Chains A and B, each alone.
Chain A
Amino acid sequence: MELVDRYLHAVKFWLPRKQKDDIIAELSEDLRSQIEDKESELGHTLSDAEVEPILKRCGSPMAVAGRYLPQQSLIGPTLFPIYSIIIRSLFLYFLLPWMLVWMGIAIFSPDFRSDHPGAALFLSLGPWWRSCTYSLFFNTLIFALLDRSQARLHLVNDWNPRSLPQVRDRNVISRGSTIFELTVVVATLATWIQIDAFRRVFHIFGITITLSERWPYFFWALVLVTLAGIGVSCMNLSNPRWTRLTASLRLGLDFYSFSLFYWLFRTGLLQSFSASGVSSSDAADFVRSFNYWMAGSAIWVLVIGAIVIFFDVRRVLRIGPTSSARQENSGV
């Protein structure tokens, strides 16, 4: 019976203090009755090996004790969906981009690696870990408190069907935003062409700026992508819904644009700079510093580009061929 005593002792540990003895006495009586029945069936005293399956069938001590306790949860099923959305959003839109930026800097920036040699590179992630811990801790704490007070505060019971948000079709493109986008793009393009922005040499307020040899290539490539963008905007204006075609075109154009900018930032924009009162060595220093700053900022172009492309890809996947076919079938 030593095994039964050990089992009951383990169950007792998890039970509420006031009920411990009462519950254990009843459970003990049940187990001993089972053992007695088995013994009279087999005609001998049960060995530990024969008692073991009886106890195992009864359940683990913690599980058995748990059934006597009131059902408890830190965050109940009413608030859990909101909690889950907040935690997932926090991870997806804050912690993950932060981690990607850190990885980008750690991989592409030799200066950062030399400033943080060896283990210091991983220690530089300290603020990220702290943000993870604090955000998880405080969100969980706030929701646990809300869960305990929701019955008094009527957080989820006071609602009205009329105050629910309108159903939003994520594939619909607002004509207002398309017109705004077109206006800005056309105005920018017109201004660029008016000031002959494809030139390499600019004279502004007595300053002469010579752009890199790559600038005209970049400029005309950007004009091309902008014209294509205007085409997509016109398509969106005539049919204000994302289709597989327009979403894919947008993805391609964004990828192309960000690649162009990344290339320009990495290779440097300025070739030379001169102004009255500025020595040629100072001007050369300025050009070097400016191009160095641009090369260092290329990572941000990459990060922003990756985020934009991520949402573009999601849109394409969301629409999908079946979704397009459904739209056509439904006559939308």
Chain B
Amino acid sequence: MSPSTDTGNDRFENLRQELRRGSLPLAVLAALRTEHYGYTLRKTLADHGMAIDEGTLYPLLRRLETQGLLVSQWREEDKRNKRFYRLSPDGKLILKQLLVEWKSIRASLEDIF
């Protein structure tokens, strides 16, 4: 592969990641309308085409919890302690607002395209 193609791929990959990074909090909040622990949440997101590595997901979950959008609870399941996350009442409200915003962005982009 030529260096210019490599640079082109790198540029695309950087922009793609930037684009996806921006939509990750929305995807996580939406997925946590149902309670999940980290690993199953990752699998759920991956099944819907939003694969996210653990190094990104867990810090994001902590940030959202600190902002009061999520609540978590350590519970035993299958003889192992797991931390379960779900949306807080504030999180539900914010998710609604973000979904409206998302639809508006999508409509605007489609209009531009």
Contacts and interface: CB of A to CB of B under 8 A. Distances in A.
Interface in B21-54: 37-39, 42, 53-54
Given A67-B59, A68-B59, A68-B62, A29 B38 contact: yes
B58 A29 contact: no
A30 B55 contact: no
A30 B53 contact: no
The prevalent SS among residues of B at the interface is helix
Contacts of B42: 30
A67 B56 CA distance: 7
Interface in B42-94: 42, 53-56, 58-59, 62, 74, 80-83
Q: Is the interface of A mostly helix, strand, loop or mixed?
A: helix
B58 A23 contact: yes
B38 A67 contact: no
A27 B62 CA distance: 12
Interface in A26-72: 26-27, 29-34, 57-59, 63-64, 67-68
Contacts of B81: 25, 29
Interface in A1-42: 23, 25-27, 29-34
B58 A26 contact: yes
Most-contacted residue by chain B among A31, A33, A34, A64 (CB, 10 A)? A33
B39 A58 contact: no
Q: Which 7 A-B pairs have the closest CB atoms?
A: A33-B39, A67-B59, A59-B55, A64-B55, A68-B59, A30-B39, A30-B54
Interface of A: 23, 25-27, 29-34, 57-59, 63-64, 67-68
Interface of B: 37-39, 42, 53-56, 58-59, 62, 74, 80-83
Given A33-B39, A67-B55, 20 more contacts: A25-B74, A25-B81, A27-B58, A29-B37, A29-B80, A29-B81, A29-B83, A30-B38, A30-B54, A31-B54, A32-B80, A34-B39, A57-B53, A58-B53, A58-B54, A59-B53, A64-B54, A67-B56, A67-B59, A68-B58
